[in-house]
Structure 1
Amino acid sequence: MASDAGRALEIVAHPDDDLFFINPDLQQSISSGHPVTTVYLTSGEGDGVDLDQHRVQALRSAGLPLPVNKPLYSEARQNGIRAAYALMATGTRTSPWRRTVIATAGGGQAELDILKAKPSVQLVWLEMKEAESISGYSPVSLHGLWDGNTSRVPSMLTTGTPVRKPFSYNKAQVIATLTGILEHYRPTLVRTQDPTPGQGRDLDHQDHIYGARFAQAALSRYAAVLPFPRRPHFTVQNYLGYQTSGFGDVLNAPAVQNKLQPLKAYAWADEHNDCKSSAGCGDLHVAASGPGQFHWADDIRYARGNSTTWMARGAGGRAEAFAVLDGQLALWREDSSGTRWSGPQLLPGTGLDPGVHSVTLADGRTAVFATQTAIGSTSSEYRRAVVYAVERAPGSGTFTPWRSLGAPAADTQDGTVAFSAPAVLTQPNGRMSVYVRDGNNTLRARYQTPAGSWTPWQHLGGTALHGDPVAAVAANGIGYVFAATPSTVTAWTLTQAGKITERAIATGVPTTTLALAAAPADRGVGLWFRQAGTGEIHTMTASTEADKLRVSPTVAVANTSGYGPAASCQAAVAGRTTTGDLTATDGSGHPRQSALRFSGAASSLCRPRGPQFGIIGWDAQLHLLA
């Protein structure tokens, strides 16, 4: 299988969000030679003090004032980012850049940096003012602009930028600016932060959240004003931010060391003045006195797009694959010979979030479930809902319009947006049930009635649930639902008659990295997860005896260290390695590896001729591995 092409565009709130939360994906794009552009919304000026915590404490203890200079500190962060990208692209952090000024579609100016040795690596600095607080409300910020509590956000120009003319943006101008950047670069993969992380333990920086919502709005505008084929199809990948440090470590030790190298360059860890700038060569706020200072260096977590159930066998055994391209559902279909695929065909309906779940109904039709974001014209109109579409006839490839199941909890503004992707079971009676982690980190469900309507959302309990729940039905008709917590995995069972257990059941599974996958297995349902700290795929089987949940001992799948969910077909497993490649085992411990890089997660089909795995590449196309 040949390596894919593709163009990646990152949109982040601050200098370093890409290094902490998107790497190693970012490094893999650069190393593979694909064009990479990163857009920084704000200057990240913070408190304007470019000192590590030891020096800050020493000054305070001596009763001396801190040296505050926001434009200078912002320039130091820019210098650090350029060093980090130069190191990732060329192996030396002092590789020079060409810094120029470009006009934006929003009426302002931005700095464009192009790496001379590798011009496909570019940085765009929009240089807007940041909120200067993680959660404390600052009206003159992206948050305030989104909510309508300020009319404009001004620029915060760094000391060394070639941009000399101050500017300000209103909400429409920020969206226009980002839309213009998308139109210029025309990426096949867009990486942004999580627009709906929730509150409490899920608290993230407000600039991360509202910067991601501005990116969402711009992507929606871009898809509408420049339709395919005037631009390539694109996928979107969202990343967790600050909250990811509260869970089991994702990356193994070698991957952490690789991630630390550009972080140390950014942090100006050695303090050699090789950038020849009076501002300094990096962000001393994060300069490490030890490896533990970089407390996001061992993590990368996708906020959406973790489904491994986006491939299905429809009528006559013909395979189908689904993905979200350009905010719409894309469908690929296998022909009757089983040798050719057609697609993608984009189905009506926009605003879909990354990641879909497909199930095959008793009559051979396919049902597809997703979440959909309505951006609206005001902040109060920003909403998400669980939606589904059903094939009109078996094998037809035509689907009903999207039908909404609403949000699992609508009691607060946060409850209407901060919930997971759905997990779906098809019961032996042919009816469906849908499960979602809500904004309070508990499980909710809706059940299809005999008449085809749906019950209201039912509360199933659980505590501290995170990530996306997963579900599967065993050969005996009993369904299982699993959801991860910071320390284990919780389970629920669904009887053949459609009755869910009234309480969450502790499985005893050890700490995972949150990314789960479930599928039918011998004598029950298998659960696949990654061991915290090693990234190795482990599996266990859940079954029911005398109405009691039985969980087998967990077993490691050899040669599978990596991150993200694992797709499975019986003993065969496929997933992402620590270097971003696709690896698949045949069940006997023999891995097959491809240099193909992909967004989201792999999916699988269990076929008479053996397992088949699919991925959506960085080129926004379907790729298959048999």
Structure 2
Amino acid sequence: MSFLRRERRIRDFGAAWPAGTQVQIVAHCDDDLYFMNPAVHQALAAGAPTTTVYLTAGEADGRNVPYGVPDRSSHPVDHAGYAAARYNGIRSAYAEMVTGDRNSPWTTAPVRYGTATVDVAVLTAAPHVRLVFVSLEGQEAARAGDPPRAIDALWSGDIPWLAVLVPTGSALPAGQALTRDDLLDLLEEILAESKPSVVRVMDPDPDHTTYERGGAIRYSDHASHTAAAQFALHAVRRWQRRQGRATPPVESYRGYYNRHWPTNLTEAAFAVKRSILDTYGGTHGDRSGAVGCGDYLVGDQAHTTGYGQSTTQRYPGSTSWLRLQADGRLAAFAVLDGHAYVWRESQPGRGTWDEPQRLAGPGDLTPHLDVAAGPDGCLHLAAVRQPLTPSPRGQRRILVVASQATPNGPFGDWAELGNPADGGADATLRMREMGMPVLGVRPDGGLQVFVRNFGRGVSSRVQLKADVWEGWSDLGGSVVQEGLALAANRDGRLSLFAGTNQTVLRWDQQEDGAFAAPVAMLRREPTGPVTVTREHNGRLLLVFRTGPHGEVTVSRQTREGAWPSQPAAIGGDGGFGPVAAFSTPVKDGITLLAQRNDQGTLSLSRQPTGAGTSASWSPAGGMFLRSPSIAADATGALAVAVLGADGTLRVARQTGTGDAGFGEWAALPPIGGSRG
């Protein structure tokens, strides 16, 4: 598909509802292109007002010459010129994404935020698109024994300030230096000015690649990516506290670790992504100028890194957050501004909704919230608290659970269940890699929670009675990806599923309540989280994307409880992230799937239950964040819920008409009573 044809298709799909306003806060000029696209590109194509903030100058060694050039070390060092060339490249890339013309002009001028003056570039043809260049230095040589003068040292407090580099041709004042608070004030002011409906950041807690007990941990990601994410999250939370109302959802994206998992973008999606990266790399421009028109270290080699072929959310969210309460009302749950909120239908099956209610608790929750329903009608929530501290050894990541004591009743206080790394060597380092929880109800009525651990296996805790939990147990597994799935079999016993680099692992609960060792069950590698639903006959249906290009696949349990070794591919038009699945409990019902497609919008597929598959998908909504969720209302009609890119929760109900048999999308009441 040509670039222009693809642009037109994105625009058509994005018109279902407003695309919102977006802010990206990253370390380097290509972080958004490598790790957040196609999401940023899709929002730009839909006309979303956009501000992207680049915290560092990214001047590297000052030589804007491709690696591998024989005489590269002999080229003169020009840090200011290299920074300016990268800025030229990113302006060209955004111009191409927005207008289709990489040479579309910009106006760049100094703007003051707080105590800092930064360069702000505005796209002339689309003045709602802005790029902010803070230009903090990151390559200054330190004396022996001194901390590196880089943004991660500024975040941790190892250095009190960091100098601003003035790029060639910039009108920034010379001699600027920013403290940690200066940078937070700057970001907070940009957030207040932009009023975003979504903030995109990098991964604040990246996976490790090597670990020496009691010693150093080597991480998979660039330290500046991590520090930029910590700065961004802290600024969002400060802004929320000062304005006293809900802040926008935050989307977090993995960085270099993408190269260690199977790729998840379709060939068409990566072709567009690569084209934009090539523009940023200066492959189409005149290289004869004194500064340059791109980052020549990227050049036309973006496809060789292995991490641009995927887009992976650090917190993709569960698909369980829309639930039917015991009183017949649907309830939708979401984490915004670090707190959990619940929306409830005013009356069963009527489609009108009460104002959202904030659940009690200290806040600081990640965007993930898993919701489980017990046989008594009580609902249970599992989440992760993420207090932010500058010191790598002062971090805490805490699993928390809250439950209804009676059906339809209020939720109790969050119970802190800790972290699988508690008490171990380097616990405050290891606990940062705890995955997002899934929660299940055991046959005896007690809860059991499961998370990915530092060793990339699975850990679990079991509830013995209301406020008493067993300690952590290690269920084994290796190379487990983020995104566990859990379901009860027809006998009430639980089965847990997790994707790895090569297969899907399954843990089955035994008669004594313990879980057997994991078994590899499929010959296809998942390219993201797995989802499971129970069909009307009690058999489980497993749904996930598979390599190398994220095609949706399904695997259905046999009558005897076994699983086939080869899943069935059912298309899906690309996309990334979890696929929601829900099966109606009647024999002639359907299993409904909902997923993000290659246009960043929602697609639905009706699957027959019991046997057979369908490769038919229908577009059914606009761009959205996190993961969709599906439930049946009091009348038995299916309902699909998403968090729109404009920050609005929306629900569509099965009517028998319209796309995939669903009616118009209803916007749920906003937090605080105002959508502005």
TM tier, smaller: over 0.9
Q: Does residue 23 in structure 1 map to residue 37 in structure 2?
A: yes
Deviations 1:359-393 (A, max 9, x none): 11232121111111112475543311111211243
- Alignment length, in residue pairs? 608
Q: Does residue 439 in structure 1 map to residue 454 in structure 2?
A: yes
Shift of 1:260: 1.6
Kindly indicate whether the alpha-carbon contact (under 8 Å) linking 1:148 and 1:379 is maintained by their aligned counterparts in 2.
no
The structure 1 residue matched to 2:133, chosen from 110, 117, 125, is 125
The structure 2 residue matched to 1:59, chosen from 57, 62, 71, is 71
Q: 2: distance between equivalents of 1:343 and 1:367?
A: 21
Question: Aligned runs of 1:327-342 on 2, under 5 Å?
Answer: 327-339=338-350, 340-342=352-354
More displaced stretch, 437-446 vs 513-522? 513-522
Partner of 2:630: 604
Deviations 1:386-433 (A, max 9, x none): 11211243223x322222111111322221211110011111221110
Q: 1: distance between equivalents of 2:39 and 2:274?
A: 14
Partner of 1:365: 378
Deviations 1:7-53 (A, max 9, x none): 11101111100000000000011001111110111111111111112
Q: 2: distance between equivalents of 1:550 and 1:6?
A: 43
Kindly indicate whether the alpha-carbon contact (under 8 Å) linking 1:99 and 1:162 is maintained by their aligned counterparts in 2.
no
Mark the CA change 1:283 to 1:377 in structure 2 (over 3 Å): closer, same or farther. closer
Indicate the RMSD between aligned Cα atoms, in angstroms: 2.3
* Code of the aligned partner of 1:579: Q
* Code of the aligned partner of 1:526: L
* Code of the aligned partner of 1:286: V
Secondary structure, in 3 states, of the residue corresponding to 2:356?
A: strand
Q: 1: distance between equivalents of 2:558 and 2:247?
A: 42
Secondary structure, in 3 states, of the residue corresponding to 2:53?
A: strand
The structure 1 residue matched to 2:332, chosen from 315, 321, 327, is 321
Q: Does residue 525 in structure 1 map to residue 540 in structure 2?
A: yes
Partner of 1:116: 124
Shift of 1:529: 0.8
Partner of 2:432: 417
Q: Does residue 223 in structure 1 map to residue 240 in structure 2?
A: yes
Q: 2: distance between equivalents of 1:459 and 1:401?
A: 27
The structure 1 residue matched to 2:192, chosen from 164, 183, 195, is 183
Mark the CA change 1:177 to 1:600 in structure 2 (over 3 Å): closer, same or farther. same
Percent identity, aligned pairs only? 29
Shift of 1:157: 2.1
Secondary structure, in 3 states, of the residue corresponding to 1:222?
A: helix
Q: Does residue 538 in structure 1 map to residue 550 in structure 2?
A: no
Partner of 1:157: 166
Kindly indicate whether the alpha-carbon contact (under 8 Å) linking 1:484 and 1:512 is maintained by their aligned counterparts in 2.
yes
Kindly indicate whether the alpha-carbon contact (under 8 Å) linking 1:427 and 1:496 is maintained by their aligned counterparts in 2.
no
Secondary structure, in 3 states, of the residue corresponding to 1:28?
A: helix
Q: Does residue 393 in structure 1 map to residue 401 in structure 2?
A: no
Partner of 1:281: 293
Q: 1: distance between equivalents of 2:244 and 2:159?
A: 32
The structure 2 residue matched to 1:591, chosen from 596, 607, 617, is 617
More displaced stretch, 606-615 vs 427-436? 606-615
Shift of 1:335: 2.2
Partner of 2:79: 70
Shift of 1:125: 0.9
Partner of 2:10: none
Q: 2: distance between equivalents of 1:207 and 1:568?
A: 37
Secondary structure, in 3 states, of the residue corresponding to 2:153?
A: helix
Mark the CA change 1:537 to 1:460 in structure 2 (over 3 Å): closer, same or farther. same
More displaced stretch, 567-576 vs 464-473? 464-473
* Code of the aligned partner of 1:567: A
Mark the CA change 1:543 to 1:309 in structure 2 (over 3 Å): closer, same or farther. farther
Partner of 1:565: 578
Secondary structure, in 3 states, of the residue corresponding to 1:562?
A: coil
Q: 2: distance between equivalents of 1:453 and 1:544?
A: 37
* Code of the aligned partner of 1:100: A
* Code of the aligned partner of 2:581: S
Q: 1: distance between equivalents of 2:112 and 2:511?
A: 62
Q: 1: distance between equivalents of 2:552 and 2:355?
A: 32
Q: 1: distance between equivalents of 2:457 and 2:84?
A: 43
Shift of 1:446: 0.3
Q: 1: distance between equivalents of 2:338 and 2:648?
A: 15
Partner of 2:222: 205
Kindly indicate whether the alpha-carbon contact (under 8 Å) linking 2:25 and 2:52 is maintained by their aligned counterparts in 1.
yes
Q: 2: distance between equivalents of 1:583 and 1:433?
A: 32
Partner of 1:83: 92
Partner of 1:343: 355
Partner of 1:498: 513
* Code of the aligned partner of 2:326: A
Kindly indicate whether the alpha-carbon contact (under 8 Å) linking 1:46 and 1:132 is maintained by their aligned counterparts in 2.
no
Q: 2: distance between equivalents of 1:37 and 1:147?
A: 26
Deviations 1:317-359 (A, max 9, x none): 3211111112211211112232212233222331111121001
Mark the CA change 1:504 to 1:526 in structure 2 (over 3 Å): closer, same or farther. same
Partner of 1:374: 387
* Code of the aligned partner of 2:224: D
TM (norm. structure 1) is: 0.92
Partner of 1:469: 484
Q: 1: distance between equivalents of 2:372 and 2:93?
A: 44
Q: Does residue 624 in structure 1 map to residue 651 in structure 2?
A: yes
Secondary structure, in 3 states, of the residue corresponding to 2:263?
A: coil
Deviations 1:509-554 (A, max 9, x none): 4111122212223443222111212322101135796xx8644641
Q: 1: distance between equivalents of 2:33 and 2:307?
A: 9
Secondary structure, in 3 states, of the residue corresponding to 2:90?
A: helix
Shift of 1:208: 0.6
Kindly indicate whether the alpha-carbon contact (under 8 Å) linking 1:10 and 1:192 is maintained by their aligned counterparts in 2.
yes
Question: Aligned runs of 1:507-522 on 2, under 5 Å?
Answer: 507-521=521-535, 522=537
Mark the CA change 1:94 to 1:43 in structure 2 (over 3 Å): closer, same or farther. same
Kindly indicate whether the alpha-carbon contact (under 8 Å) linking 1:370 and 1:387 is maintained by their aligned counterparts in 2.
yes
Q: 2: distance between equivalents of 1:568 and 1:103?
A: 48
Partner of 2:641: 614
Partner of 1:98: 107
Partner of 2:670: none
Partner of 2:47: 33
Q: Please list every run of 5 or more consecutive structure 1 residues that lacks an aligned counterpart in the other structure.
A: none
Mark the CA change 1:407 to 1:463 in structure 2 (over 3 Å): closer, same or farther. same
* Code of the aligned partner of 1:96: P
The structure 1 residue matched to 2:365, chosen from 352, 375, 380, is 352
Mark the CA change 1:172 to 1:17 in structure 2 (over 3 Å): closer, same or farther. same
More displaced stretch, 492-501 vs 383-392? 492-501
Mark the CA change 1:472 to 1:543 in structure 2 (over 3 Å): closer, same or farther. farther
Shift of 1:175: 1.8
Kindly indicate whether the alpha-carbon contact (under 8 Å) linking 1:183 and 1:226 is maintained by their aligned counterparts in 2.
no
* Code of the aligned partner of 2:348: S
Q: 1: distance between equivalents of 2:390 and 2:639?
A: 43
Kindly indicate whether the alpha-carbon contact (under 8 Å) linking 2:106 and 2:122 is maintained by their aligned counterparts in 1.
yes
More displaced stretch, 74-83 vs 143-152? 143-152
